[in-house]
């Protein structure tokens, strides 16, 4: 997930009571930026399963055509 998607679905954020600390070297640059945003917003979590299927499917198809 990147920061754009995180912010686009801000209405689906919930508080994360047990935030994961540390570093994650396997994240991409855009994922690292999203993680920094999550932490700066007070350790929120995006309930990804609530993202509409038509949006998620569209994104999956975009990525699949790039492989």
Q: How many CA atoms lie within 13 A of 21 on its CB side?
A: 1
| Confidence at residue 27, expressed as pLDDT on a 0 to 100 scale | 96
- Report which of 2, 6, 8 is spatially closest to residue 44, judged by C-alpha positions: 6
Number of H helices, E strands in the chain: 3, 2
Q: Residue 25: what pLDDT?
A: 95
Question: What pLDDT score was predicted for residue 26?
Answer: 97
Angle at Cα 19 formed by Cα 17 and Cα 24, nearest 5°? Answer: 165
pLDDT > 90? residue 3: yes
pTM: 0.81
pLDDT of residue 31: 95
pLDDT, tens only, 22-57:
999 999 999 999 999 999 999 999 988 999 999 999
Structural domain boundaries in the chain: 3-65
What pLDDT score was predicted for residue 65?
93
């Amino acid at each position: 997930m990147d920061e754009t998607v995180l912010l686009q679905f801000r209405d689906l954020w919930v508080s994360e009571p047990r935030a994961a600390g540390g570093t994650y070297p396997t994240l991409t640059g855009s994922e690292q930026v999203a993680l920094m945003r999550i932490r700066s917003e007070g350790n929120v979590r995006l309930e990804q399963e609530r993202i509409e299927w038509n949006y998620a499917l569209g994104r999956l198809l975009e990525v699949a055509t790039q492989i």
